[in-house]
């Protein structure tokens, strides 16, 4: 049994709230640290347990993540909650293992073009960072899980179509490099459910029991359908963000991540218990609403409420 | 082989544009007849072949459908195109069979509560209207297909949860009464993909080769995921409306029908050829945009365009 199995038990879907990372990636203003802590606490009270809370990047470049350590500390105090953060280079890794972070996320681009344009490094170097993460973690005796996510795995805004065989080879290399969790990301929302289903099933087979994460964007309205396909194909972890916050600099017009609230509804309806209370979750939207008034929030459940009998 | 089989060939998905009917059901202003004819012509040029164009109701009650006969005539002149219209009582049926309409749609509510509130008649009387439609059609030697749709089949805004066994029994009675096509409608957008999948599969088995239509609303953001589930479960016909126009008086906050454009993208991605050209289809949105400026149009494809390589 690998170290990630207890974090993401097999046979159920774990939902990761990435709003505090991916949702803040591109915004011009962001919540105060207090507001972020309230966001975390509110979602925790609603039953959310998996939080991606930022990237280990220079504060000068990404000031929205300046309080990353405070958020990791806050999550570490919550029984059963888990924090994840991105580390995109050796310095980020070193910083990450100085915190109580539960999961370090490394990103490997599916295409050489995007890897060079976005990260200014080759895919091979990116895979080597996964290896460095696992090695450093072991040297330090740190508890963290290493998650390797393949960006642009279902289509690339620079290179266009992406060969699934290529993604599968990269996943294989990440597993060989020591990734505890592997993920595929439809970073620019190009996919439909057929592509998601086929790729997820291949990655699940390859991962051979290690948890598989699927990160989807709702750019073309396919987000929830793609999430349903990923669940059916055996994904263990699905990412979403409150109100569908977030986007990608390489996806003009993108409406952001899959809406977390709608993802909860989907999972419950499909028989994957989430343990999340919808009214409590919906109430947390008031935080980004007041802290980031320029960012539109999306969501079917927020708009229409849970299905029910009409009031008399 | 039943008379509907040539209209909706087995083994492929037929997409029905219901914007000119369901999309105009609740609006305060609607396109001029010329604009509606341009809407039809534009979608036909894009490859759309199935159009629901109105309801046979008194003009005093539903003035937006006053030009229904003009639209039916227009569709009848287009090679391979098919018109459908609702008939909700005997007078509607009589009027329908005085036109060249290709399909008469009768509605049966899944729940007695909704049947009485919405149609002021029992479900048994509604099934008898299906029988009357088939009989009158045969007496007149009219070509039209009779379509019986079960409204609120996946949840009722008045009665709440709906027993699928009850829906299956109603479908059975409609088939026995002579329906050529049977449909299930998630009128208020209560369903998720599991419920859609299970009910569609049961109705497909019961229909034994007669086409099965699934009519979905995107009220809670599940529309496209539900459409994917319906396709996988063997539905032959999926309804949608341009820009997701339309709603239901019994679904407060409803955002309308599944977005037709996104439905096309979904079907193509899943390997169901639609024969519809996306750029031409998207161009038709300018008609409701200019004719009904107060009605918001939705859609992922309209927002983000087809996936592709970034411009250099």
Domain region containing A26? 14-303
Q: Which residues, 6+ apart, have CB-to-CB distance to A276 below 8 Å?
A: A15, A46, A47, A48, A264
B73, pLDDT greater than 80? yes
For an interface test with B, give the residue of A198, A220, A264 to mutate (most B CBs within 10 A): A220
CA distance A298 to A243: 5
pLDDT value at position B30? 95
pLDDT value at position A209? 94
Is A254 or A293 the better-scoring residue by pLDDT?
A293
pLDDT value at position A253? 52
Structure confidence by residue, pLDDT tens digits, B121-174: 999 999 999 999 999 999 999 999 999 999 999 999 899 999 999 999 999 999
CA distance B71 to A153: 45
Phi first, then psi: give them for residue B196, nearest 5 degrees.
Answer: -65, -45
Residue B311, in any domain of the structure: no
Residue A190, in any domain of the structure: yes
pLDDT value at position A127? 98
Q: Which of A111, A149, A154, A144 is nearest to A129 (CA)?
A: A149
Q: Are B259 and A221 an interchain contact pair (Cβ–Cβ within 8 Å)?
A: yes
ipTM of the predicted structure?
A: 0.92
Structure confidence by residue, pLDDT tens digits, B253-264: 556 899 999 999
Structure confidence by residue, pLDDT tens digits, B197-206: 999 999 999 9
Total domains in the fold of chain B: 1
Residue A176, in any domain of the structure: yes
What count of residues does chain B have? 312
pLDDT band at A254 (very low <50, low <70, confident <90, very high): low
pLDDT value at position B247? 63
Q: Are A192 and B270 an interchain contact pair (Cβ–Cβ within 8 Å)?
A: yes
What is the rounded average pLDDT of the residues B176-191?
Answer: 96
B9, pLDDT greater than 90? no
What is the rounded average pLDDT of the residues B107-119?
Answer: 95
Q: Are B309 and A254 an interchain contact pair (Cβ–Cβ within 8 Å)?
A: no
Residue A51, in any domain of the structure: yes
CA distance A65 to A23: 11
Q: Are B190 and A299 an interchain contact pair (Cβ–Cβ within 8 Å)?
A: no
**Pick from A262, A271, A310: CB nearest B220:** A262
Q: Which residues of A touch B270 (CB under 8 A)?
A: 192-194
CA distance B14 to B9: 8
Q: Which residues of A touch B114 (CB under 8 A)?
A: none
A38, pLDDT greater than 90? yes
pLDDT value at position A26? 86
Place of tokens 């993920």: A183
pLDDT value at position A28? 85
Q: Are A97 and A144 in contact (CB under 8 A)?
A: yes
What is the rounded average pLDDT of the residues B101-114?
Answer: 98
CA distance A263 to A266: 5
Residue A308, in any domain of the structure: no
The answer to whether residue B248 is catalytic is yes
Mean of the per-residue pLDDT values for chain B?
94
Q: State the first-to-last Cα distance of chain A, in angstroms, to the nearest integer.
A: 53
**Alpha carbon of A202 to those of A153, A165, A187, B265: distances in Å?**
13, 9, 19, 23
B312, pLDDT greater than 50? no
What is the rounded average pLDDT of the residues B209-220?
Answer: 96
Is A66 or A1 the better-scoring residue by pLDDT?
A66
> Cα A182 vs. chain centroid, distance in angstroms?
11
Percent of chain A with pLDDT over 90: 87
pLDDT band at B248 (very low <50, low <70, confident <90, very high): low
pLDDT band at A4 (very low <50, low <70, confident <90, very high): confident
B271, pLDDT greater than 80? yes
pLDDT value at position A249? 53
A173, pLDDT greater than 50? yes
**Alpha carbon of B33 to those of A214, B30, B37, B39, B295: distances in Å?**
47, 9, 6, 10, 18
CA distance B269 to A217: 16
Choosing from B106, B156, B174, B248, the catalytic residue is B248
Phi first, then psi: give them for residue B30, nearest 5 degrees.
Answer: -145, 165
> How far away is chain A from the Cα of B253, in angstroms, using its nearest Cα?
5
What is the rounded average pLDDT of the residues A226-245?
Answer: 97
CA distance B56 to A278: 41
pLDDT band at A311 (very low <50, low <70, confident <90, very high): very low
For an interface test with A, give the residue of B117, B230, B259, B304 to mutate (most A CBs within 10 A): B304
A312, pLDDT greater than 50? no
Which CATH number does the domain housing residue A78 bear?
A: 3.20.20.70
**Pick from A194, A265, A298: CB nearest B192:** A265
pLDDT band at B249 (very low <50, low <70, confident <90, very high): low
Q: Are B193 and A307 an interchain contact pair (Cβ–Cβ within 8 Å)?
A: no
Q: Are A309 and B159 an interchain contact pair (Cβ–Cβ within 8 Å)?
A: yes
With 0.90 as the threshold, say if the pTM is over it: yes
- Count CA atoms closer than 13 A to A256's CA, side-chain side: 25
Lowest mean pLDDT among A27-31, A55-59, B41-45, B248-252: B248-252
pLDDT band at A247 (very low <50, low <70, confident <90, very high): low
Residue A8, in any domain of the structure: no
**Alpha carbon of B53 to those of A28, B36, B56, B66, B97: distances in Å?**
46, 9, 10, 11, 15
For an interface test with A, give the residue of B152, B155, B191, B220 to mutate (most A CBs within 10 A): B220
pLDDT value at position A308? 82
What is the rounded average pLDDT of the residues A55-82?
Answer: 97
Q: Which residues of A touch B301 (CB under 8 A)?
A: 220-221
Q: What is the 3-state secondary structure (H, E, C) of chain B?
A: CCCCCCCCCCCCCEEEECCCCHHHCCCCCCCCHHHHHHHHHHHHHHCCCEEEEEEECCCCCCHHHCCHHHHHHHHHCCCCCEEEEEECCHHHHHHHCCCCCCEEEEEEECCHHHHHHHHCCCHHHHHHHHHHHHHHHHHHCCCCEEEEEEECECEECCCECCCHHHHHHHHHHHHHHCCCEEEEEECCCCCCHHHHHHHHHHHHHHHCCCCEEEEEECCCCCHHHHHHHHHHCCCCEEEEEHHHCCCCCCCCCCCCECEHHHHHHHHHHCCCCCCCCHHHHHHCCHHHHHHCCCCCCCCHHHHHCCCCCCCC
Is A217 or A249 the better-scoring residue by pLDDT?
A217
Residue B148, in any domain of the structure: yes
Q: Are A253 and B304 an interchain contact pair (Cβ–Cβ within 8 Å)?
A: yes
What is the rounded average pLDDT of the residues A42-58?
Answer: 97
pLDDT band at A186 (very low <50, low <70, confident <90, very high): very high
Q: Are A301 and B221 an interchain contact pair (Cβ–Cβ within 8 Å)?
A: yes
CA distance B169 to A103: 52
B309, pLDDT greater than 70? no
**Pick from A224, A301, A304: CB nearest B224:** A224
CA distance B261 to A13: 30
Q: Which residues of B touch A230 (CB under 8 A)?
A: none
Structure confidence by residue, pLDDT tens digits, A129-154: 999 999 999 999 999 999 999 999 99
Other CB atoms within 10 Å distance of the CB of residue A235: 26
pLDDT value at position B14? 97
Q: Which of A202, A183, A135 is nearest to A22 (CA)?
A: A183
Residue B8, in any domain of the structure: no
Mean of the per-residue pLDDT values for chain A?
94
């Amino acid at each position: 049994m690998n170290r990630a199995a207890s974090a993401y038990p097999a046979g159920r879907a774990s939902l990761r709230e990435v709003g505090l990372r991916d949702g803040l990636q591109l915004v011009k203003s962001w919540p105060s640290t207090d507001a972020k802590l309230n966001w975390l606490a509110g979602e925790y009270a609603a039953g959310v347990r998996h939080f991606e809370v930022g990237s280990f990047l220079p504060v000068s470049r990404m000031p929205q993540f300046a309080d990353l350590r405070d958020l990791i500390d806050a999550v570490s105090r919550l029984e059963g909650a888990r924090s994840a953060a991105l580390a995109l280079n050796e310095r980020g890794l070193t910083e990450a293992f100085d915190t109580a972070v539960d999961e370090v996320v490394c990103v490997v681009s599916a295409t050489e073009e995007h890897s060079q344009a976005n990260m200014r490094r080759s895919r091979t170097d990116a895979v080597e960072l996964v290896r460095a993460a696992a090695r450093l973690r072991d040297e330090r005796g740190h508890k963290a899980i290493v998650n390797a996510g393949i960006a642009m795995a279902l289509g690339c805004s620079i290179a266009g179509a992406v060969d699934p065989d290529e993604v599968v080879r990269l996943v294989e290399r990440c597993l060989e490099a020591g990734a505890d969790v592997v993920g595929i990301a439809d970073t620019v929302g190009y996919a439909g459910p057929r592509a998601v289903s086929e790729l997820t099933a291949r990655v699940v087979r390859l991962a051979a029991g290690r948890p598989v994460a699927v990160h989807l964007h709702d750019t073309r309205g396919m987000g929830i359908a793609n999430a349903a396909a990923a669940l059916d194909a055996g994904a263990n972890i699905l990412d979403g963000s409150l109100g569908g916050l977030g986007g990608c600099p390489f996806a003009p017009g993108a409406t952001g991540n899959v809406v977390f609230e709608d993802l909860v509804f989907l999972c419950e309806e499909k028989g994957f218990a989430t343990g999340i209370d919808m009214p409590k979750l919906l109430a947390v939207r008031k935080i980004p609403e007041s802290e980031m008034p320029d960012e539109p929030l999306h969501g079917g459940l927020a708009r229409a409420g849970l299905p029910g009998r009409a009031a008399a």
